[in-house]
Each structure stands twice: as structure tokens, then as C-alpha cells.
Amino acid sequence: MDLYKKFLVFIDQQDLFKQTEKIIVGVSGGPDSLTLLDLFYHYQKENNLKIIVAHLDHQIRSTSADEAKFVEEKAREYGFLFQKKVVNLPALHKNNSKSMEQLAREVRLDFFRILAKKHSTEIVALGHHQDDLVETVLLHLFRGSGLQGLRGIEPASQLNNLVIIHPLLDIKRKEIENYCNKIGLKPKFDLSNEENLYTRNKIRNIILPTIRSEINPKVDTAVYKLANIIKEEDDYLEKLAIEKLKSLIISRDHKKLVLDYQSLVNTDFVILKRILRRIFMMILGNKDDLYFDHINYMVDYLAEAKTGTGIDLPSKIRLHRNYEEIIIEQQKGSSQSNDYHFVLHLGEKVCIKDKYIVSFDQVESDLNFEEIQVKNYCYFDIDKIELPIQVRNRRRGDTFQPLGMQGNKKLKDYFIDQKIPVYKRDEIPIILDRLERIVWIAGQRMDNKFKLRANTENIGKLNVEYLKEDNYE
């Protein structure tokens, strides 16, 4: 079976993008993404599908500008729309504690979110292939992952407002390289993939070749098969956990679940752990701060829980027993500090202290500019900031350049000038970009650096809603 037919079979089996009119394809210029782009070129000739080519120039390599130009020329050759974002990732990394890989992933996803909003689609196709899946499974195995990590890379996964699809997961790296040579694609190669600085590269360049030569020459096929078996069984166990959880719920609201205690503690240990993870997802929308030790901590507590006792967990989650009920809820306040800090992605909103709701969206460039004067809104140039947006209260030393002013002003002085009561100053949401530059004082003034200009292409909209009305006058 040739590569294009394998591509068609896989996207049909996985039902990756039926009834879809537009797809964003992330293209770096390497063999994988270039092959994916070429396959989509042939596919869209036979189907009504618009392709948007997305390229992030991260400026890590000296050749990044040439790579961006190469991808742009290839997109034009195919007749596809080309969209590019330039980010100085090494500079961002200097001011960030995250790894370069994690930072690059976040910047890339924020770029995709902006494009998805702009082009009214949610689907982003990436060029990860079977070898990438195998490396991911081993990487997770060595880190002590559970079944979910051993699934490797999903054919399709929901990530906030995006659906990330991987149409090449049934295709091997060697097949991709042969395809490039056969049709003369001439991709760009990232030489850092040959260096063993990162764990993934060590798995690719050292561990897997050793296993192939000394243990099992078909280890890649074996791991790929294992990942698929794990996926099937993991899906089944998750289905059982969901059904069991439904039977346990006595009542539920946005940030609180009440469960039947006896039925919960009599649940099989394997299903119980899944139920606890799912509850975190239901309350928080993610389980980023939940680890293996936290699950065991909850299980141990439930085994001997007494009425009136409870335990505290990450993200202000509290688990406690009240007679024959187990209550899991997110606490509204904190006795430790009045400070708060949230990350806000495109299309999301966040509730702060049950008092404010701050949202972030992208709007059309032909908006009604009279609306810009509304106090609760801030319209700004997305391309002037570094995503993601952050929302927090004030910190010592905060400064910004109020709209219409030439120089910077201390936030403390601004609050004094505006006669904002002292007790309110620690509550007002301050909206910043990734580099901690203030974009907007919610309900007050934006920073002059991010104002709209005649050449602004992508317009961001911040909105603050007051659940309890404030009057700063």
C-alpha cells in the first residue's frame, strides 16, 4: 500500500476530520510535516477542504528565517494560505523557568489558537508519525507513567479549544524519508535531532538502536502494538469508571461533588483511582497539579475517613466526610494569601474570587470602534504581546505606560491618582502577557504599547464582568 493510501485509510478509520471545511497544518519544513502537507495537497484536490499552513519561526537556529521562507514558498506552490509567527524563544527562555521544549510547545499552541479563531476552525494537523509514538511510549515508561501515558500519541485529542490530529501515526519515519526522496520534496533537517542533549534524542539515537541490534529488531512494531492494546483497555476501564461515578453522585454543582461514602470506598481500587482523577477534571477542567502521590493520599484517607475530618489537595481542593457523604470541592478562599494568578488562553474565561470574570477573545478587524470606549473592554494588538495572557492582582514594583502617556507610571501611583480605595487595590485584575508586561488594568486603563494602530492585523479583546458591582468613583 502506498503512503497516500495508508494516509486515507488511517484518517477514515480514526474519523479524523469528516465534515470539516478548514484545517490548519503545522509545518516546520522537516520531512514529517512536509510529507503531511503534500498528502493534504493531494487530498484537498479530491475534497472540498481549505488548508492553512502555520509556521512558527522560533529563532532557535540561525537558519530559522530560511526555513520559514522555504515553508512559505512551498505553501504558495500548493496554493495554500500561509501564516507565520516569529518568536525569539531563546530570549523568552531566559525569563522563564520552564524547559525550552515546554515553552516552545506553549508558544506553538497559542499560535494555533489564534489561527483557529481567525479562520473559524478547531482542527490542527501535526506530522507526528509511528516512530514518534514509540519514542513517546518509552519516554513515559521510563518516567513511571500509568496506562494513559503508555498510550503514546493520540490520533486525535481535545486541547482547550483545539482538536489536535495526527494523520501519520500509522506511518514510519523511513517511509516518510523514502516518500520525500521519491517525489523530490527536499525537506529541511533539524541537526539538533542528531545530538543527544535531550532524553527523547537519547531514546531515538542510543536506546532503540541498541534494542534493535541486541534484543528485538522489530521493537518499534512491538511497542506500537502494545500502545494500541493499552489504548483499548484504558478506554474500557475509563468507561467503567464513568458509569460508576454517575451512580455515586448525590449532588453536584460547578465546583463541588457530593458522593455516597460507602459505595465509593467499596469500589474496586483500580476504578476508584480513575474516579478520583475524573473528579479533579470535572472540578478544575484539568489535572495538571494532580500526581500519583495525591491519588494514594486520597485512597488512604477514604479507607479510614471519619465524619468531620478531611484532607487538603492541590488547587485548593478539599476532600472531607460528612456522615454518609464524601464531599469534594474547591475552596473559595485561602488563609495563606490574597494573591491570585491565572493563565488565560484564547477563547477562555476565568472567575476571580467570585467577583470578576475575565475573558480573552479575538475579534474581526472591522469591529465598531465606538465600543472600544466601553470601560469593561480592552481591545489590543495581539501581535505586540507574547502569549499566553496572565491574570493576577498587583505586585510590588508593577509599572505600565497608561494609554496616551509618554512615560511609565507606577501602578501604585496610578491607583492613588484614580482615588481607588486601598482595600480594593489588591483585588483588581491585572492582565499581563508572558513577559509580565501589563496589557490592561481591568476596568481601568490599558498600556499604550499595545494599542490598536492602522496596521494592526489581529485584534484581541479582553472583557471584565463584575459579579459584585464595584464603584471606584
User: What is the count of structural domains for the chain?
Assistant: 3
Residues 311 and 449 both lie in one domain: no
The three three-digit cell numbers of residue 110, written as one number? 497559542
Residues facing 349 on adjacent strands: 359
Q: Where are the alpha helices (DSSP H) in 215-357?
A: 219-248, 261-265, 269-284, 292-304
Residue 471 located in a structural domain: no
Residue 391 located in a structural domain: yes
Name the residue range of residue 237's domain.
227-330
End residue of a domain, out of 191, 216, 241: 216
Residues 6 or more apart in contact with residue 249 via CB below 8 angstroms = 257, 258, 259
Can you give the pLDDT of all 473 residues of the chain as single tens digits?
A: 699 999 999 999 999 987 789 999 999 999 999 999 999 999 998 898 999 999 999 988 888 899 999 999 999 999 999 999 999 888 887 776 667 777 888 899 999 999 999 999 999 999 999 999 999 999 999 988 889 999 999 999 988 789 999 999 999 999 999 999 999 999 998 766 667 767 889 999 999 999 999 999 999 999 999 999 999 999 999 999 999 999 999 999 878 999 999 999 999 999 999 999 999 989 987 776 687 878 988 999 999 999 888 888 878 889 999 999 999 999 875 434 567 888 888 888 887 876 788 999 998 766 655 445 567 899 999 999 998 898 999 988 899 999 988 889 999 989 988 888 777 888 899 999 988 899 999 999 999 999 998 888 899 999 998 875 443 33
Residues 182 and 50 both lie in one domain: yes
Residues 188 and 43 both lie in one domain: yes
Render 116-184 in DSSP notation, one character per residue: HHHTT--EEE---BHHHHHHHHHHHHHTT--HHHHT-S-SEEEETTEEEE-TBTTS-HHHHHHHHHHHT
Residues 320 and 461 both lie in one domain: no
Residues 57 and 156 both lie in one domain: yes
Specify the CATH number for the domain of residue 255: 3.30.465.60
Helix (H, G, I), strand (E, B) or coil at 389: strand
Residues 205 and 256 both lie in one domain: no
Residues 36 and 149 both lie in one domain: yes
Q: What is the pLDDT of residue 326?
A: 97
- Measuring CA to CA, which residue among 162, 122, 114 is closest to residue 461? 114
Q: What is the pLDDT of residue 268?
A: 97
Specify the CATH number for the domain of residue 406: 3.50.40.10
Residues 205 and 244 both lie in one domain: no
Count the neighbouring beta carbons within 10 Å of the beta carbon of residue 415: 20
End residue of a domain, out of 152, 186, 216: 216
Residue 312 located in a structural domain: yes
Residue linked to cell 481607588 = 420
C-alpha 90/C-alpha 103 separation (Å) is 10
What are the C-alpha distances in Å from 449 to residues 97, 378, 406?
26, 13, 10
Q: What is the pLDDT of residue 463?
A: 93
Q: What is the pLDDT of residue 334?
A: 43
Residue 222 located in a structural domain: no
